[in-house]
Structure 1
Amino acid sequence: MTIEKLKFPIGKFESPATITKDVLAKWISDISLFPVRLSSEVSYLTDEQLDTPYRPEGWTIRQVVHHCADSHMNSLTRLKLALTEDRPTIKPYFEDRWAELVDAKNMPIGPSIKMIEGIHERWTILLNNLTEEQYGRVFIHPEQGKTFRIDENIGLYAWHCNHHLAHITETKKRNNWR
């Protein structure tokens, strides 16, 4: 398997030219179901399995789970900023550095699973109740020099959920873990 396929097992995110209500509903469903899907894939893994990188020079499964909690916490905050401020500039963070902190490298995944469950429950309520005008609200990502619409960001994070879930499921397949 190529390093590119290991890095991006479902490919890179591509936003469709038109984001329809059906597309949004699918993306919101992916975000809503992520905690259950993630938990079912990692709840029976041993510490040794959790400490297995999903690719050479990559994060361990443990780090991936903690990264999802960190990333999705930031995404919920960005959504709330975009909903309550006019074109806010968000605060980027160094996800690679966060993944090297002791909590991401060594602690049990249970607290991050709980965070993901709560974050996604609140996130889903907001997403399911956005108006057409709110889908078009934006935030500015200074690091990328890009303006993100809320509707596009929903797709990016639905992809993010599936992307990291695939890191875990593909690692389990390659290692014949159940």
Structure 2
Amino acid sequence: MKSLKCHLSSSVAEQNAILRQRYDVFVEEFNFFTPREDGQRIEYDTYDDHALLFGVWEQDLLIASCRLILPNTPLGLPTLNTMVIDSEKLQDIQQTAEISRITVASDQRAFRKTIKVLQTMQKEINRVSANYEINQWIGAVGPRFLRLLNQSRLLYRPIGPLQFHVGTERYPILLRLQDYTASLKENR
């Protein structure tokens, strides 16, 4: 497997590549969203105004991406806004960011490679999150993707019931920094 590098998008070209990849996956492949009326082949919503875009690159090829929605007053976080959350499992949301729009290009989805992509992505998200004093991440994923995250040693836990969200049934999930750090130490 070639070397994977994850980093924040640092140019308009990288941002556009990530938004096009999201379109390919979420609009064309999975039909979670309808095509844009203006014909642009990008997937973008208002949460992107409060998000950092990450790409995973193999040499010059974008093979995966995600966004990190930072805590913000105007919109909040999509999972907290739209899903049923168990308040016992999520008590403090002050330093919480949301990881969403996780994509892996269809021709890059071999099991071991996807695990490596997810680990590489989370490591960079963790590094960047420290600059924003983020100490936990939430998201919404289907049961199979949750199993894949856990097989990747990314110990996200459900914080609410399985429910319909963005085109399919998903769990709201949480990973605390302390659990992520402990998992890294355990697996050395």
Q: In which range does the TM-score fall when normalised by the shorter chain?
A: under 0.3
TM-score (norm: length of structure 1):
0.24
Name which structure has the greater RCO, CA cutoff 8 Å, separation 6+. Answer: 1
Q: Which structure has the highest helix share of the two?
A: 1
